[in-house]
Amino acid sequence: MSTSCLSVRSPGTVFKLTPVALDNLSNALQLYNWSGITLALDSCDSSDEFSKIYDDYICIVKHLINTHIPSKNVTISQRDPPFMTPKIKLLLRERNKLRRKGKIEQANVKSDKICKLITKHRSKVLSNADNHNIKQLWSMVKSAGNWKSNGNLASTYNVTFG
């Protein structure tokens, strides 16, 4: 029996893309000695060689990203709602820390950002709906919403009647 079928958690990495971190990465990319890659490309004769060179290039770039951009690991479990992404979960943690410290104004700013990300995710899910298949449409609506905590779908999606 495969253990991947039994997995209830999926890890995700969220990179903190601050201007300072992006500048550091940009500088590292500019200062890196790319001569090994360019020489290998110049003498490349086959697609297998090109694939190896490309893999090396990707390894170098990933290493520079992991070295210069701060990141956090976040685990998503099956208990989390469908709209929960690693970025949203990290923002929820940050918001909760701010609230515990009494920094309500900053926490409210995080809440607004979280709300926008959730709304964007739900809209993306519902944009793929086929309005000719009603059963599929309602299953997508139910999966996009959090029916346990918010039963008023009309207010969630700013739907107006009449």
pLDDT on residue 146 = 56
Distance CA 98, CA 19 (A): 22
CB crowding 93-108: b at 16 or more within 10 Å, else e = ebbeebeeeeeeeebe
Task: Read off the pLDDT of residues 89-144 as tens digits, 9 standing for 90 and up.
Answer: 999 999 999 999 999 999 999 999 999 998 888 888 777 766 677 777 777 777 66
Among 58, 118, 110, 57, which residue's Cα sits nearest to residue 84?
A: 118
